[in-house]
Structure 1
Amino acid sequence: MNTDVNQGSNLSRAPIVSIVARHSNSGKTTLLEKLLHETKKRGWRVAVVKHDAHEFEMDKPGKDTWRFAQAGADVVAISSVHKMAIIETREFERTLDEVLERLPEVDLIFTEGYKHGDKPKIEVFRSEVHKELFTKPEELIAIVSDVQFKVGVPCFDLDDVAGICDFLAEKYQIRRS
């Protein structure tokens, strides 16, 4: 695996690819869902880090973990046979690199919502939503779109998840199955 894209993370040496677009409702989440299905078919272990500019609520009011947090716990963890989650109260937002350092070892990390970050980017562009590319060409590794661009990076159709994964596998030497 290529480690130069991670820029300083200690624990995770996986390549990091940010799925970005100018606007919400551009198709980033839909593309990520399709990519995740394809990566699982290939046997890859994948992490997704989603940035939320708003307050999010992971826990349901009234449930035990929610009650513990409301009572003052700074960290609440819940674990079962198949899942584990940790909810941590923070005074300030962690940087993407700080979040990445806490991830377990995986083959590939996707981020969504870090469009101004310094990680390699795949921009989702739909002609009905966008007028021009948001990302500078030098920050892009690919474009996923319903129209073709000639900016020096591969341009994939919105449904070509196999092609995108083939591209990522070659670029970052990801092998599994």
Structure 2
Amino acid sequence: MIQKPSPAVAVVGRHNSGKTTLVERVIAELTARGHDIGSVKHHGHKGFDIDYPGKDSYRHRAAGASETVIVSPDKMARVKTLEHDLECSQIVASMPNHDLVVVEGYRKSGLPTIEIMRQANAADARVAEVFAQAAEQGLPLGFDFVQQARAEQRGEAAALGAGLSAGGEADAAAAQQASDPHPDLVEKLPTQRTVALVTDIPRAQRAAKTYGLPCFDPDDIGAISDFLEAGYVRPRLSVVIQAGGESRRMGRSKATVPFGGRPLMAHMVERMLPVADELVITTNEPENLGFLAEEFPEADIRLVRDALPTRGALPGFLTGLSAASCPIVAMVACDMVNASSALSVAEAQKLIETGADAVVPVNMHGFEPFHGVYRRKECLAAVQSALDSGETKVQHFIRRVKMAPFTRDEVLEVEPRGGCFLNANTPDELATLERSLLA
């Protein structure tokens, strides 16, 4: 089974800021919208345990097991002894195939963070004040607010120290307290990883606007969920297998030519189906591909004829992008017998991370657009514009969008054996690929 990496976002704040309540409500809302949500809770203190004396799992661990898995018909739990705290990235990496993982805590994880500040929490009010002052002074987001707070409090300490009397221990203690930064300020302020603010504090709301940060009321769970859906929930992926070519050199339809004892298209569907939220096949012979519905009844495969009478790569892209309904589209040629669903997943991940319109493999031979991933809306407009200008090659539309290359090294990291872009145009080439793949 292909493991799709889960995107993740962290909800951070100070003690009693309402992180758990916010996370709980957001998870409930996103789940109600049909998303598969995972969650991580950072417990900062040692001694946390979920099995207790008398439980079978506890007895296993007490006997010396470093890791115990408890399984019932509807749940599974894993209890593992750690020598040190795991990095949040390691935890999220061990939780594939979720539409989103919502992390509570882990401010230093490197994940995009949503900061929560509530008026009723004194620590939040103090943080909001420092945050607002920085915004008013024109300091950049990511400025060391802690140092600013320390400087302010050193000034307060100096003022107290000037009034100390000899032996005034109470005054000395007050001066010492003022000279230390507020414990809830230290490393607990918005940073460059902050992508949104959730707050009911007016000054913090104004500061967020100054920094260009989206800002939400803590009770506006719908708007917060909309924000996460738009930018962080994994978009659904349409996989389009292009089979609309004329196949002149093959001498017959590539989609139905035998490969490994079955039609080539069945082989391609089997390779790409694990990552497809929607599977589309562009073909001018749908009547000859009816066997796919019987062989893959769970796939709900859509067979789509060419949108234009003109054959070619660019018209094929127009057909595929027009037919797809998901926001991200993985395009694969039906004669790429080594096509990799894992590669399409990695390309889609890069598309999300970079904000690109297209992620296209690039090697010594140039672009490999028939194993790339594309944002449907933006790329469909670019393809139509290229066709309207009389262009015929895929490279002409790629120049019109924001493209992120997927390098040879990145490909080999996903598929160490390579060969993902080899295609068969003749019976001899197909036979050679069949021998190599099935050997």
Q: Is the TM-score greater than 0.5?
A: yes
- Correspondence for 1:5: none
Shift of 1:127: 1.8
- Correspondence for 1:6: none
- Correspondence for 1:159: 219
For 1:58 and 1:92, locate their aligned partners in 2 and report how far apart those are by CA, in whole Å.
Answer: 18
Pick aligned residue for 1:143 from 194, 197, 212: 197
- Correspondence for 1:132: 127
- Correspondence for 2:50: 58
Q: Deviations over 1:57-89 (max 9, x none)?
A: 111221000111111101100111211011111
For 1:106 and 1:31, locate their aligned partners in 2 and report how far apart those are by CA, in whole Å.
Answer: 19
Conservation of the 8 A alpha-carbon contact between 2:22 and 2:218: yes
Q: Secondary structure at the match of 2:51?
A: coil
**Residues 29 and 173 (structure 1), Cα distance of their counterparts in 2 relative to 1, 3 Å cut:** closer
Unaligned runs of 5+ in 1: 1-9
Aligned partner of 2:227: which letter? F
Conservation of the 8 A alpha-carbon contact between 2:5 and 2:93: no
Aligned residues: CA RMSD: 1.9
Conservation of the 8 A alpha-carbon contact between 1:168 and 1:174: no
- Correspondence for 2:92: 100
For 1:173 and 1:76, locate their aligned partners in 2 and report how far apart those are by CA, in whole Å.
Answer: 31
Shift of 1:174: 4.2
**Residues 102 and 162 (structure 1), Cα distance of their counterparts in 2 relative to 1, 3 Å cut:** same
Shift of 1:135: 3.0
- Correspondence for 1:169: 229
Shift of 1:106: 0.1
Identity, in percent, stands at 38
- Correspondence for 2:74: 82
User: Aligned pair 1:117/2:171, yes or no?
Assistant: no
For 2:44 and 2:232, locate their aligned partners in 1 and report how far apart those are by CA, in whole Å.
Answer: 29
Aligned partner of 2:39: which letter? V
For 1:172 and 1:35, locate their aligned partners in 2 and report how far apart those are by CA, in whole Å.
Answer: 13
Conservation of the 8 A alpha-carbon contact between 2:127 and 2:189: no
Pick aligned residue for 2:12 from 9, 13, 20: 20
Conservation of the 8 A alpha-carbon contact between 1:137 and 1:152: no
Shift of 1:91: 1.6
Determine which structure has greater relative contact order: mean sequence separation of CA pairs < 8 Å that are 6+ residues apart, divided by chain length. 1
Q: Secondary structure at the match of 2:114?
A: strand
Q: Deviations over 1:139-176 (max 9, x none)?
A: 21111111223221110010111111111111136457
Pick aligned residue for 2:34 from 20, 35, 43: 43
Q: Secondary structure at the match of 1:132?
A: helix
- Correspondence for 1:7: none
Q: Secondary structure at the match of 1:37?
A: helix
**TM-score, length of structure 1 as denominator length:** 0.86
The structure carrying a bigger helix percent of its residues is 2
Conservation of the 8 A alpha-carbon contact between 2:117 and 2:200: yes
For 1:53 and 1:12, locate their aligned partners in 2 and report how far apart those are by CA, in whole Å.
Answer: 29
For 1:173 and 1:35, locate their aligned partners in 2 and report how far apart those are by CA, in whole Å.
Answer: 12
Aligned partner of 1:115: which letter? R
Shift of 1:116: 2.2
Shift of 1:115: 1.5
Q: Secondary structure at the match of 1:91?
A: coil
The structure carrying a bigger strand percent of its residues is 1
**TM-score, length of structure 2 as denominator length:** 0.36
Aligned partner of 2:52: which letter? K
Find the structure with the greater CA-based Rg. 2
